[in-house]
């Protein structure tokens, strides 16, 4: 007798359960390998960014996130290390979600889940050798959202706004306007309209 095929609801629940477990694994690994060993250096860099004394290129990269974290620190009354850890937790959760939904644009839910597992494994390896700064996971998450928007044909002005917001914490998403322009041409869109809109997106990204 053949076993009954799991329902789509069961598949989704299992998917989110596994992604949640992988995300918890990433957060714990980051706490052990980055947050604890680099706690004092991260606090020092935060204070340097607030005083406009952080070494380049971290000064401009850290400006937005440092002031946001300082506001959270003063408003909540939590210690700065705890605020930095909460930032890591939230940004990793958003990264996992954005990465999963981006992959689902191209492949099915189960294959996207494999991508999430691969992301967790890669992150755990990177955490062993690299002290991630508080803006990086927000930036990668924004990059994934942009890639999903490009593939799904979001309005160019929405992508430009998202490029602008992501640019507050990252810079590698500047590749997205070029990708968007190439896709516009392959989809038969007018060249001049695609060109000036792509340039606006690039300006927003920079």
C-alpha to C-alpha distance for 154 and 159, rounded to whole angstroms: 7
User: Considering the chain, what is the average pLDDT of its residues?
Assistant: 83
To the nearest 10 degrees (0 to 180), the angle between helices 156-166 and 175-186 is 160
Distance (Å) of CA 61 to CA 42, 52, 74, 185:
14, 11, 21, 33
Q: Which residue has the higher pLDDT, 58 or 14?
A: 14
Decide if pLDDT at 157 tops 70.
yes
Q: Name the residue among 82, 84, 204 with its Cα closest to residue 137.
A: 84
Q: What is the pLDDT of residue 72?
A: 92
Residues 6+ apart with CB under 8 A from 94: 137, 138, 141
Q: At 59, is the pLDDT very low, low, confident or very high (cuts 50, 70, 90)?
A: low
Quote the pLDDT of residue 58. 61
The DSSP string of 13-35 is: HHHHHHHHHHHHHHHHHHIIIII
Cβ contact 140:95 at 8 Å: yes
- Alpha-carbon distance of 78 to 58, in angstroms, equals 24
Q: What is the pLDDT of residue 5?
A: 46
Sorting pLDDT into bands at 50, 70 and 90, what band is 11? confident
- With beta carbons less than 8 A apart as the criterion, state whether 135 and 64 touch: yes
In this predicted model, which residue has the larger pLDDT, 196 or 100? 100
* Residue 167 pLDDT grade (very low, low, confident, very high; cuts 50, 70, 90): confident
Residue 122 has pLDDT above 50, yes or no: yes
State the average pLDDT over residues 25-45. Answer: 85
Band (57; pLDDT cuts 50, 70, 90): low
162 and 146 Cβ atoms separated by less than 8 Å: yes
Mean pLDDT computed over 30-49: 85
Residue 4 reports pLDDT greater than 60? no
| 7 has pLDDT over 70 | no
pLDDT number for residue 56: 63
pLDDT at residue 29 tops 60: yes
How buried is residue 145: exposed, middle or buried, by Cβ count under 10 Å (0-12/13-18/19+)? buried
Tell which wins on pLDDT, 56 or 115: 115
């Amino acid at each position: 007798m053949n076993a009954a095929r799991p329902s789509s609801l069961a598949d989704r629940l299992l998917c989110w359960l596994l992604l949640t477990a992988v995300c918890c694994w990433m957060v714990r690994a980051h706490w052990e390998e980055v947050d604890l060993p680099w706690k004092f250096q991260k606090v020092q860099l935060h204070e340097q960014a607030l005083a406009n004394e952080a070494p380049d290129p971290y000064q401009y990269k850290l400006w937005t996130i440092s002031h946001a974290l300082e506001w959270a620190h003063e408003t909540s009354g939590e210690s700065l290390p705890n605020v930095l850890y909460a930032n890591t937790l939230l940004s990793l959760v958003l990264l996992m979600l954005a990465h999963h939904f981006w992959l689902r644009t191209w492949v099915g839910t189960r294959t996207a889940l494999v991508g999430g597992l691969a992301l967790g494994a890669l992150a755990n390896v990177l955490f062993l050798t690299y002290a991630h700064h508080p803006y990086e996971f927000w930036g990668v998450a924004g990059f994934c959202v942009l890639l999903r928007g490009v593939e799904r044909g979001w309005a160019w002005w929405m992508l430009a706004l998202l490029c602008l917001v992501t640019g507050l914490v990252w810079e590698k998403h500047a590749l997205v306007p070029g990708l968007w322009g190439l896709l516009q041409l392959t989809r038969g869109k007018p060249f001049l309209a695609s060109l000036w809109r792509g340039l606006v997106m690039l300006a927003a990204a920079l």
